[in-house]
Every structure is written in C-alpha cells, then in structure tokens.
Amino acid sequence: MTTNVDKIGAGKNRDGNPVMVAESFRGPLPPASMFKEYNDVIPGAGTDILNEFKAQGKHRRWAEKSIIVGKLYFGPLLAAAVILFGFFMGYLLIRDGKSIEGFGIIITPLVAVGGLFVWNYRMTKADDPVKKKGK
C-alpha cells in the first residue's frame, strides 16, 4: 500500500509574504502523521478512521460474497423451480386432454429461462474487460 503525500512548505516566501500550507494524500488511509494530527484535534479520531476503514472493508467483502452466492445458487435454483412448475402445469393440461396448451406451458418457461441465460451471458461478456480484449 503506497500513500502519496503532497506538501507545500510553510512559512514565508522570498519576499517575506506569508505562505499558506496545504497537504493532501492519495490512498485509502491517511499517512501516520495525519492520524496523529487528527488525534490532536479530536482524541480518538485516528482510531475511529481506522475502525471505519476496517468496517467498510468487511462490508465490501460481505456484499461481494452475497452477489457471488446469489449468482451461483439463487438464480439457477429459481430458474429450475420455474421450469419444474411449468412442466408440472403442462403435464396437468396434457393429462386433461389439452395437449397444445400443455406443450405451450412446458415450452414457455424453457424459452424464457434460456433467453435470460443468453442475455445474462452477453451482458456479463460485455462488462468483462478480459473478454473484451479477445474481440
């Protein structure tokens, strides 16, 4: 982890005029010297910043895991449930002598789930920079 700190000198310039001091950093956390300055202004502020950083990282990992679990398990299980329900309803219609309607009810969820699968694959491929390079 690197932190870039830009600091402009304090004091007076060559003409004796006062110079304003500005400090900035780039990175997820401020450098240690800034933590000390935060603690000087508000006791415990540096610890609060560090705890907030840790909590944000924990939340981000949980959110990413939830998305992955949803894509791997919830989506396919829901698709399977829709297809099985369509098969069952189609079977009931065919059993009652309504074969055209029954086959229509069986085919409809298959086409819908297949279309969603193809659409999701294309959207995922369009968003993936590694797969874009292969084009």
73 within some domain: yes
* Model pLDDT, residue 122: 83
* Model pLDDT, residue 28: 80
* Model pLDDT, residue 20: 73
Q: Which residues of the chain have pLDDT under 50?
A: 1-6
134 within some domain: no
* Model pLDDT, residue 107: 92
Helix, strand or coil, per DSSP, at residue 68: helix
* CB 22, CB 43: distance < 8 Å: no
* Model pLDDT, residue 41: 87
Alpha-carbon dihedral sign for residues 73, 79, 82, 85: negative
Please state the domain count of the chain. 1
- The per-residue pLDDT for range 20-51, each reduced to its tens digit, is 777 777 878 888 888 788 888 888 888 898 89
Domain of 32, in residue numbers: 23-126
* Model pLDDT, residue 92: 93
131 within some domain: no
Sort strands 4-7 and 23-26 into parallel, antiparallel or unpaired. antiparallel
CB atoms within 10 A of CB 86: 19
6 within some domain: no
1 within some domain: no
The whole-angstrom separation of Cα 6 and Cα 23 is: 6
40 within some domain: yes
* Model pLDDT, residue 57: 92
55 within some domain: yes
13 within some domain: no
